[in-house]
Amino acid sequence: MVVLALAFYLFAGITIASGVMVVATRNPVHSVLFLILAFFNSAGLFVLMGAEFLAMILVVVYVGAVAVLFLFVVMMLDINYAELKEGFIRYLPIGALIGAILLIELLVVIGAWAIVPTAEERAPTPTAMPEGVTNTEALGRLLYTEYVYLFQAAGIVLLIAMIGAIVLTLRQREGVRRQRIADQIGRQREEVLAIRKVEPGGGVS
Amino acid sequence: MIDLPGLLPALPEIFLACAGMALLMIGVFHRGDATRLVSGLTVASFLVAALILIGVAEERVVSMNGLFIVDGFALFMKLLVLLGSALAVIMSLGFIEREQMARFEYPVLFLFATLGMLMLVSANDLISLYVGLELMSLSLYVVAAFRRDTVRSSEAGMKYFVLGAVSSGMLLYGASLVYGFAGTTNFDQLAAFTLDSTGIPPIGLIIGIVFISAGLAFKVSAVPFHMWTPDVYEGAPTPVTAFFAVAPKIAAMALFVRVLVGPFGDLAAQWQQIIVVTSLLSMILGAFAAINQRNIKRLMAYSSISHVGFALVGLAAGTPEGVRGVLIYMAIYLVMNVGTFACILCMRINGRMVEGIDDLAGLNKTNPLMAFALAVFMFSLAGIPPLAGFFGKLYVFMAAINAELYALAVIGVLSSVVASFYYLLIVKLMYFDEPSEAFDRPIGSGMSTILVGASVFNLFFILAPAPIVDAAGAAAGTLFNPPPAVLEAADAAAAVE
């Protein structure tokens, strides 16, 4: 138990610290690297909770795909940081005001949570893990039965994202040399090959 | 477990999804330009979906594990949405071919947006609500930016996307609060929860409702969440604007009504104030801000903001009569807007689209029939008596007065008087000013059919209002009869105590 608690505080502490560093660090590449660290530690927290599948997905999808994409974008884009900082200072007062209002709202909400007498019994209880079933299988059973409607709908959302990306960015450019394998294979010797007799010292006219 | 009969209520949606994917395949593998073919097939798919919808309609079915609902209300709204989308696709065809943006993805994206709208109207759970909303919005962002080579269209798409993402965030935050305090996202269970939480409901739940309302108000472009509307309407290609003004508004309004009246119906005292204020502001801003607009698309954007305000008057009443008013209003709004945008799409001089209202000057001399049709739509939008637009306003204001919201009704009528200024200004320009340049002719058979149909509807609605009014009344009724699940859950809760 002590080991578990230690591991939890280790992961949680590093997650929060790297979260702070993401915002605080000057170099955006370092920000992304800290973000990756935060993802890894969140994955550790998921493992502690017994959600191995989510932990693995977090590493594979977020670290493997999203964060690397971020890294590429940050490295490729030429962002003027001085200008960004300027905007930050200018909008600081209004941002702080909105933040304060949101904080007060949250406090009110959390305060009410304690007051509402039925909150405890209303809180949904986590579904017990069926015996002898792995994490992934349990999620799959839910996803493909009870939530199949949402699963399919989410698939269509992704399809639209793909169509949208193609519609908005794909250009048929003129004068681009493409490899046409069928043409290459279908080439006849006569079309492309000519044998010339070259006289010694005469050259090719 | 889902058995096959559980899929039956969602058959129109399943059909549309499959049709969308099939049309993509046709578009990719068709030799030559497939836009015309795919557009025709899209309209046909809408028609088939509507027929399936009427065919499988039943009293009230909840399926897909409580995520999906079909009732009279959903049926009515879905038919309106399908009609609006089909007309938008028909109106688009000529425009996209002339403006070199004819690509087969265009009607397919309309189809997927419509699929999202149908899912929205049938949502019976906060999660299915959100997924449907994203499905609709994502397609709309893309079609707004469809003319990617013009700055205005890209800007419209970008603006719509960023602000839409913010509004989705607000909606999700509200949904998470509601889930946290009620312990469920299912509408029936939420209704049961609010029914038996006597006294003051948890404050977190109310904050959640406020956030959800804010997110939905953005989607219907009600004040104070309207800022994106004029820019997006102006920047997006005109047929896309026509689509934006009609189908998504109807779907989002249906969702607004369903969420507030269904699961949170017993908290009417809490959300009524929000709706009253939103509706008031929308009517007033829509009336005053449009006065100075010289671009007809911006003018129609403000006009649609004020019309949303009028429709929300019915929702503010919170009674079956009020919801019936909203349904009738949306039906009439659809026809008026489709007609007006058909006219706007015909505003071409020497093959070039024009959008200024001064270009309409003297239209009566050059094209009297179109001038007459546009005048009918303008009078109808203004709510001048024998035309259909008057009846839309009549039913919502009647509901407001019967619900004792006198101030709202009076201010609504006054702001509609202000709004008639700019509608009548267009009529004056067409009939009493000297013509500048004539618009191109002919306008095409599809367009003239839509113009004639919409004018006839607006002119003669007074003779036979019964079919729409009765259907809307029946549809509104299904939303209010406490559904059996709510009563059962309430009984179960009572038995526990």
CA distance B101 to B85: 19
Distances (CA, A) of B142 to A15, B134, B165, B345, B410: 36, 12, 14, 21, 40
CB contact under 8 A, B183 and A109: no
Structure tokens at A133: 């079933």
3-state secondary structure of B127: helix
Residue ranges for chain B with pLDDT beneath 70 = 1-5, 197-200, 481-497
CB contact under 8 A, B138 and A105: no
Asked if A113 is an interface residue toward chain B (Cβ–Cβ < 8 A), one would say yes
> Could you tell me the residue range of the domain that residue B186 belongs to?
14-496
CB contact under 8 A, B183 and A150: no
Please count the structural domains in chain B: 1
Q: Is residue B283 part of a domain?
A: yes
B322, amino acid identity: G
Distances (CA, A) of A100 to A95, B345, B415: 9, 48, 37
Adjacent-strand bridge partners of B63:
B68
Q: Is residue B8 part of a domain?
A: no
Residue ranges for chain A with pLDDT beneath 70 = 79-82, 112-130, 203-205
B140, amino acid identity: L
Q: What does the DSSP assignment read for B14-50? A: HHHHHHHHHHHHHHHHSSS--HHHHHHHHHHHHHHHH
pLDDT at B2: 45
Q: Is residue B237 part of a domain?
A: yes
Q: Is residue B396 part of a domain?
A: yes
CB contact under 8 A, B142 and A122: no
Instruction: Give the count of alpha carbons within 13 A of A175, CB side only.
Output: 0
CA distance B245 to A126: 43
Q: Is residue B70 part of a domain?
A: yes
pLDDT at B265: 83
Q: Is residue B9 part of a domain?
A: no
Asked if B105 is an interface residue toward chain A (Cβ–Cβ < 8 A), one would say yes
pLDDT at A140: 86
pLDDT at B305: 93
Question: Any residues with CB less than 8 A from the CB of B110 and at least 6 apart, and which?
Answer: B42, B85, B88, B89, B92, B139, B143, B243
Residue B374 CB neighbours (<10 A): 26
Q: What does the DSSP assignment read for B384-447? A: -TTSHHHHHHHHHHHHHHHTT-HHHHHHHHHHHHHHHHHHHHHHHHHHHSPP-SPPPS---HHH
* Residue A188 backbone dihedrals phi, psi, to 5 degrees: -100, 155
Calculate ∠ Cα B169-B170-B175, nearest 5°: 95
Q: Provide, as residue numbers in chain A, all residues whose Cβ is less than 8 Å from the Cβ of B68.
A: 149
pLDDT at B497: 46
* Whether A39 contacts A58, CB under 8 Å: yes
Q: Is residue B304 part of a domain?
A: yes
pLDDT at B253: 93
> Model pTM greater than 0.95?
no
CA distance A147 to B1: 10
Selected residues 381-440 of chain B with any CB under 8 Å from a CB in chain A: none
Torsion of CA A42, A48, A54, A55, to 10 degrees: 50
pLDDT at B101: 81
Of A145, A157, A169, the CB nearest to B135: A157
**Closest residue in chain B to residue A170, using alpha carbons only:** B148
pLDDT at A59: 92
* Whether B331 contacts B395, CB under 8 Å: no
Please give the span between the terminal C-alpha atoms of chain A, in angstroms, as a whole number: 90
Q: Is residue B452 part of a domain?
A: yes
Question: Which of B247, B420, B421, B419 shows the shortest CA–CA distance to B335?
Answer: B247
CA distance B97 to B95: 5
ipTM summary value: 0.89
